[in-house]
Amino acid sequence: MIKMILLALFYFLFPLIIISLCRKWTFLQKFGTIVLAYAFGLIIGTAGLLPQGSEGFKFALQNEPSLSKPVLEALIAEGKAVPEDRVANDILALQDGIYSLALLLAFPLLLFSLNIKRWLKFAKKGFLSVALALVAGVVMVTTGFFIWKDAFPDAWKLAGMFEGIYTGGTPNFAALKLILDVDADRFVVLFTYDTIVGAFLVLFFVTLAPRIFRAILPKYEDKNGVTLDEELVKKETEGLDDFSGMLKKKMFIPLLKALGLSVIIAGISGALYMFAPVPEEFRMAVMVLSVTTLGILASLFKPINRIEKTFQLGMYLILVFSLTVASRSDIRSLFGQGMWDLILFISWCYWGSLFLHLLLAKIFRIDADNFLITATAFVFSPPFVPLVANALKNKDVIVTGLTGGVIGYLLGNYFGTTLAYLLKGF
């Protein structure tokens, strides 16, 4: 029991060290806290620091997060598992509980601070580009599914997850892991390859992309007549990864209230999971989409919307999720059969969506800067918007990019779930 408590404390507290390392060393900030959480988790899983269980135990697991105690005891009695597997099974059950809880609590917190009306007021010009990016993502992920559906087991789940991450970001990707019941090893493989492909895209976006797209699309002109709120932009962009001050009394007590509200939302969603009159396979989708919807509704109330650092607290829980789920995996599993098919599928989704979005932007005469900043928001999510805006040397489009990211966070779970179940029958 003490070992389980210590392990749980490690998962919840080690992200503090990751944040501290990023604040201390600038070069680590370029990787980002989420990538570092996955990296540390993979080191733990690959080094064998946690009991892995016997081969018979692993075979019995299949894609289940852990075994029930009666099943495990029966396997031990039959000689198909060994007594030491009890510890390995307890750890797997703990990990499953931690990353599921962290994600369900994180999503409302990520949404509490979003002010949709405010963003739309500042982003009328880029709104069409946002809509075109959504269309491009759905089309390319769907066509990618039909091209590679025979290369992967349950390819419909991959399509749903990558629609979610393209529309929203890593939190949506993680939520769809629960909704679609994707096992931890496979999830980490997908996230790792997504990071590799994404690294090349980031490099392209901040180097060659501004010059190329400005030669293809119309020139940016500010016709909105809206004065950019520099203070708002600074708060909403630079603060996305700013975890400082959260333990001060002035912020800590309101954050505890926000966390309590998130617990209530998760509880309501859990009740829907238990009692909603839907087939078993859809219960997790009902639960996670309920969390998302209730989080959006809560953000409409000013006392909740104005609580500082709720987004950062949500991201902290995403770090807990990332560290925990990655520690279940062995990095050697990344280089197995189907690796190149997976890389090609992800590249098709990302690069294909980008170029289809470009074609649509050309047809609808979207200017280059608004096109690139909304593409950034959908491919990489809001934290990358200031980086690309800096490469464009145009801060006026930051708000448009953030709007795209906000809309993506809101729609990612819905789009990913819907597309996955639509494709399941093919």
Q: How far is CA 333 from CA 42, 184, 309, 338, 410, in A?
A: 10, 11, 36, 11, 32
Q: How far is CA 73 from CA 52, 81, 96, 320, 329, in A?
A: 17, 8, 20, 31, 25
Each residue's pLDDT tens digit, 48-61:
888 888 888 877 87
For residues 257 and 249, is the Cβ–Cβ distance under 8 A? no
What's the pLDDT at 225?
47
For residue 223, report the phi and psi dihedrals to the nearest 5 degrees.
-110, 5
Residue ranges of the domains in the chain? 2-98, 102-423
**Angle value at C-alpha 246, between 396 and 377, nearest 5 degrees:** 30
Q: How far is CA 319 from CA 41, 103, 390, in A?
A: 10, 10, 27
Q: The whole model's pTM is what?
A: 0.75
How is residue 218 annotated by DSSP? P
Each residue's pLDDT tens digit, 329-376:
777 766 665 678 888 999 999 899 999 999 999 999 888 888 888 888
Q: How far is CA 318 from CA 3, 15, 84, 276, 408, in A?
A: 23, 10, 31, 27, 17
Each residue's pLDDT tens digit, 246-290:
888 888 999 999 999 999 999 999 898 888 887 776 777 788 888
Each residue's pLDDT tens digit, 135-192:
999 999 999 999 999 888 889 999 999 999 888 877 888 889 888 988 877 888 888 8
- Average pLDDT of the chain? 83
Residue 191 and residue 278: Cα distance in Å, rounded?
A: 30
